[in-house]
A and B are shown apart, each in its own frame.
Chain A
Amino acid sequence: MSRLKKVLYVTAALVVFVTVFILDVIRHAVSFDLDGILFIREGAIIGALFLLYLSIRAAHAEHPVGIPKNIGKLLIYSVLVLFLASLVSFVGRGTTVPEGTMTPPQAALASLVSVVFGVVLGLFSISALLTIKDLLLHKRRKGTKRNFILYVIALLLSSLTVLPLIPSELSVVSSVLFAVAVVMIVVNSFKQNWIVYLSRREKLYSIVYSALLFLTFVGLSLLMTQNPVSRALDTFHLPLRNFAQLNAIFGAVYFGMAFISTLFHLPTAEVYERKQSELTSLHNLSRLVTQVFDFTDLVNTVTAMTLEVVGARSAWLELIREQGINGRVAVDVVSNRNISPEQIELITASDESSLRQYVLDSKRALLIDDIRNDRRTKHITKSGVTVGSLLSVPLISHGEPIGFLHATKDFEFGFDQDDIDVMTTFADHVTIAIENSKLIAKSLERERYQQEMMVAQQMQKRLLPQRLPKHPTLEIAAVSEPSLEVGGDYYDFVQLRGDRLGVVVGDVSGKGVSAAFYMAEVKGIFQSLSKICDSPRELLLRANQSLMESLERKAFISLLYGIIDIPKGILTLARAGHCPMIYISGLNAQMIRPTGIGLGLTHEQIFEETTQETAIQLQKDDLCIFYTDGLNESRNGAGEEFGFERLVQAALGARYLSAEQIKEMILTEIRNHTGDSAYGDDMTLVVIKWLGHGEG
């Protein structure tokens, strides 16, 4: 309800009451009878009370407080009202002046008393009814609300039938309705479900409050039946008296019953409180599921909570490592409290069969009430384990056991059915929490891995030439397409003394970050050595020397290095385990494959003995094609490789085009071959077309 509405309602009600007050003063002083005015007066009061009801209900709903506090508040109100009623009773004692003959001050006082007390009692009755309604409907059952509504209907009807305008013949009806309301009061007063859910402390409060409320309501009921309170009420509004009286009876009966019920419930308070703490622990764990990401924290919290949940002496959590041979399980104790790993081993493992096996076979909780006299734990008697009873529950994820949660107590028969239920439920939560924590760890790892990959990819991209060298006598086209991950393909160009151009293509074994690092190393070596070494073979020998020291044993690098002497048109080539160069001269295609071992595979002597160098005199329009094995090994859906044959044919078919176009043609051919299947490896292609010096 909006603030404005509330203010409007209360103001309207106040205006009505003030008007009634003025009217009453006049009525007391000057005796006159006018049914019309009386009719309006009664109607206005009912309307005003209804507006007050709406305001109180809204306030009630907007500021909900706990049950004991609510009752406490009602108690304060009731004591105040009782006090006011006593005051009215005291002030109005022995003053019986016939109507219409009062002096103006007398009339004013009487009217004031009747209106103020009437309004206060009305407010209180409404508030009491709402409070009782809340208690009644707490954990309500099917008929609860219906019974309450029946009472309210009887209450309202019985109140309305006593309106002065109603013919007196209906007083029988009124009495019947009153009786019905009283019956409904008794029926409703049996609904005391709220008491069960109170804590022990709250129950103690509730006992005192109920007792006091019972007394004040009884007091109010009695006062209302007697002059001058009854007279003051009657002169204000007859139905209100009926309404307040019934509600006072309701209050007395209801809180009387509440007092007795609470008294009976007091012994069970402890049990209830334990349940409550179990529930709270379970709830806490479910919250932990989303909060504890760290595995160690999680499992330690689990054992700590196990102690709490079932009040155990010791607890430990085991996760299954693997399904061992002969169906025996190997477990890791990931967290233990108040028990040593040696003791755990003593308790759970026996020669013939492990306790875990019992749990695994049944996939249910295992309870051993008396460890010393149970046939499943005979082995324990001999050892010095001071455990009375044991409860073990499996952690089951998707039907598969992933571990066990154990709890022990020092004495026999320490666990009851409730403990089993709670531990089983608890174990379910634990399972989810553990699975979650594993998933999170995995996804974190993947994220980290992806980040590393991204760094490596960027690094790799920057290691490749950002632009190709331009020369009037040759065309160069190059492409390097990394696979999904980071690969180890490398190509580079270097301008050398004497108008010579160095071209290198290489492949670092392995993938990922390490490949990217090796590639960086190779680039460094190549860039520095190429300036010093005059021949490709010399560079490979020196590169092998330095890489042998730094590469890990299973890593190696293949390299194909050529130097084009531009004035002479001679290509000198050396190969270190790399794919041969494809040389196309006219219609003739050749694999240029000087012998040579991959870098980092063997020490200098064998390497030096093996590595050879070859030289080619280039003719106009000759093609030199450097590439990595990712290119010829590109597979289609059927697993068939692109192969050297197709590569050579593609190059031959496009030999009259520009280097750039030849490169594109080869890539197109590869894509046609592989179809939708993604490239398995990264691939690199460098096409050099010798244009010559215009002599052709």
Chain B
Amino acid sequence: MSEFKIHHRSGEGVSVIDLKGYLDAHTAPELENALQKLIEEKKFNIVVNCKDLSYISSAGLGVFMAYIEDVRKNRGDIKLTNMSPKVYNVFDLLGFPILYEIYKDEQDAIKKFQDARSVQS
């Protein structure tokens, strides 16, 4: 079983979190910490890249729910990208595509953030 890893990138006003491996009840706190930290640093434009995410459980899904409200309140967003069909199916079953913006590619999400900013300014 591949282990869960979080990698962190930021640039152009957008923070990218790379997820890898299994996101379940055991590994969810790691993602929680990562999101918490971004919020504390007032970085509300967040892209979560799920390219190497092989499994997500309900506890993993719950992490996004825990922070989305705070982020959106601060005019930010959590956008999800690069999901494998299997992972997408889990998100989809629960109705996440209605609640979250999900993109095929990370760049699309980043571009969306930048567009939104230029509209604002």
- Do B65 and A554 have beta carbons less than 8 Å apart? yes
A596 to B93, alpha carbons, bound, how many Å? Answer: 8
CB A611 to nearest CB in B, in angstroms, measures: 9
Chain B residue at smallest Cβ distance from A579: B93
Chain B residue at smallest Cβ distance from A508: B58
- Do A595 and B59 have beta carbons less than 8 Å apart? no
- Do B69 and A553 have beta carbons less than 8 Å apart? yes
Q: Is A256 an interface residue (CB 8 A)?
A: no
Chain B residues lying within 8 Å of A576, measured Cβ to Cβ, are 95
- Do A598 and B95 have beta carbons less than 8 Å apart? yes
A595 to B62, alpha carbons, bound, how many Å? Answer: 20
- Do A510 and B59 have beta carbons less than 8 Å apart? yes
Which of A601, A610, A629, A639 has a CB less than 8 Å from the CB of B65?
Answer: A601
Q: Is B34 an interface residue (CB 8 A)?
A: no
- Do A597 and B94 have beta carbons less than 8 Å apart? yes
- Do A510 and B98 have beta carbons less than 8 Å apart? no
Q: Is B61 an interface residue (CB 8 A)?
A: yes
A606 to B65, alpha carbons, bound, how many Å? Answer: 15
Q: Is A602 an interface residue (CB 8 A)?
A: yes
- Do B99 and A601 have beta carbons less than 8 Å apart? yes
- Do A558 and B94 have beta carbons less than 8 Å apart? yes
A578 to B59, alpha carbons, bound, how many Å? Answer: 15
CB B93 to nearest CB in A, in angstroms, measures: 6
Q: Is A511 an interface residue (CB 8 A)?
A: yes
- Do A556 and B62 have beta carbons less than 8 Å apart? yes
Chain A residues lying within 8 Å of B58, measured Cβ to Cβ, are 507, 509-510, 556, 558, 629
Given contacts A554-B63, A556-B62, contact A639 B98 (CB under 8 A): no
Q: Is A536 an interface residue (CB 8 A)?
A: no
Which of B25, B57, B66, B95 has a CB less than 8 Å from the CB of A597?
Answer: B95
Q: Is B119 an interface residue (CB 8 A)?
A: no
CB A343 to nearest CB in B, in angstroms, measures: 35
Interface digits, A567-579 against B, CB 8 Å rule (1 contact, 0 not)? Answer: 0000000001111
Total count of chain A residues near the partner, CB < 8 A: 25
Given contacts A507-B58, A509-B59, contact A578 B93 (CB under 8 A): yes
Interface residues in B12-43 (C-beta closer than 8 Å to A)? 25
CB B68 to nearest CB in A, in angstroms, measures: 9
CB A681 to nearest CB in B, in angstroms, measures: 8
A555 to B94, alpha carbons, bound, how many Å? Answer: 12
A510 to B57, alpha carbons, bound, how many Å? Answer: 9
CB A332 to nearest CB in B, in angstroms, measures: 22
CB B29 to nearest CB in A, in angstroms, measures: 11
- Do B65 and A556 have beta carbons less than 8 Å apart? yes
- Do A606 and B94 have beta carbons less than 8 Å apart? no
A610 to B65, alpha carbons, bound, how many Å? Answer: 18
- Do B62 and A602 have beta carbons less than 8 Å apart? no
Chain A residues lying within 8 Å of B93, measured Cβ to Cβ, are 558, 577-580, 629
Chain B residues lying within 8 Å of A509, measured Cβ to Cβ, are 58-59, 61-62
A584 to B21, alpha carbons, bound, how many Å? Answer: 35
CB B3 to nearest CB in A, in angstroms, measures: 12
CB B78 to nearest CB in A, in angstroms, measures: 13
Closest 8 CB pairs of A and B: A597-B95, A554-B62, A554-B66, A509-B58, A577-B94, A598-B94, A553-B66, A554-B65
Can you list 15 contacts pairing A with B, beta carbon distance less than 8 Å? Answer: A507-B58, A509-B58, A510-B58, A510-B62, A553-B65, A554-B63, A556-B65, A556-B94, A577-B93, A578-B93, A579-B93, A595-B95, A602-B95, A610-B98, A639-B1
Other A-B pairs, 10, CB within 8 Å; known A511-B25, A577-B94, A629-B58: A553-B65, A553-B69, A554-B66, A555-B65, A556-B62, A580-B93, A597-B94, A598-B94, A601-B95, A610-B95
